[in-house]
Structure 1
């Protein structure tokens, strides 16, 4: 049995969660919390396998509760949230603090027909993830220390870096924030990102605004046909449910079938960049479940690109980076902040910082 703690202050919503979860013989609700303080205490006492977490809670918000849980009793957390803009930003903050995934609350329309089934599927998926004590969960009475890592020598490409491409999935919001924050303001190389977001379109669309606010960089969703030469200093995200790729000096969007059950797919972007940029590209594969991006990163490395994968210790889910390491696709394996430092060094060494 997968033991679930439900955290929700609305009695109506708690009833729906409880009844939906009761319909799956693999799931058992072991407790219900109505505020953040109670959630933290019940996780500590009951040690559930999964927590479903509302964001807008009394006494302590869902975000604060997530930070406490991930700092003290790391547990897979599924955020169950509405698409209200304030709640959306809290949801992404919770994902950056270590929550694993998000499911939109019922909308009150035809899309609700299979909501209970989607909830149970998300809970089962989340239960399989081995979470870590999250480095961003820094509380007033707690400090998180990291040992300095030894320097890594990275060959400087013959020409300036033309593009940085990044893939991430589960745990990605936090890793992307750390990566982009670590780049200096003078870093001008375009950054193209595929982030798997399983949530509905309102959640996904708000991600660009949230990431821009977190990092201070110009972040937007890609549009089809934009010349890559116009992207200096910008961060582009693959739009919801569209592949992004580079071809003939242009950004292209595609409705082609999913790869590894993903659209957008990291492999689609990486595989397009390999022949387009060769050794002038840099590829980065961050935390995530599955293997999307590993083969594409290998193709990039074979064409001379500098390639990175996130290390296991800093990953929420060591899936995609692990596959890249096993294939020999990642020349360098390190946490996002160190990857950012190396990217800055590459740009500085080749003169592309302003």
Structure 2
């Protein structure tokens, strides 16, 4: 009996792996432009009625191609690729639908209200608290992270005045000045330059969105790692129109399966090298004068609320793009 159970477990594992590999293979054959071609998944019963979709038999998914590795366009043929493209392919497959991936920039609310897409991915939970659309549970954890080189293990205190590279006018640079002061910030033009500054010795640390930073370090072939978080973790979620309850239910189910079936771990490994477990990373709190080993999972709800109020996180500009000057907090 024990041998039989082991065999059944092994067969289930292989079926999941085969399913995910098929989905990710389909994602690589996605769109040759912003919103034109679509792939055809294996025949599966459609579980969402056409009345819940803007295009019969097709899930139209919005992404932001300026937010790699969530989404971006290849230089050779402008195909849209990235974490969110793979997530979109999986969601559509679970619903028995084809998928169209559309670049909607960083305005999910407008894309949904205008009927441009059915779902928008890559929506940061902390930036959409008052948005007029339905949000799923996060499918990908993130947060402003502090990176160090492979040899760096020390977590800086807020009064130690460390030099920290970060993209100018980004949420990360704002978080650095909030916690460590203006003198600690070493401004850079983009994530790539941020990690170049870290590895050249121009800064001891680099601050970036955990997902964006991990990808930037990986693609630059730097052996950098997250040493701390500068805020409690948040996450990326899916957005659907408030009135489309049928699609909300289907998206919620797909997001749940992404985690429960291990699909998200495989997608993260593909783009980041390995899944990120941010719950075990030290969170640097405002006013900390000594290193703390407090993990984000152990932080109390009241402490998280106090940090959000103190940092004004909702007013901070988005990571991975140049923020409008009027949106950035005063320094």
- Decide: shared fold, TM above 0.5: no
TM-score w.r.t. the length of structure 1 is 0.30
TM-score by length of 2: 0.31
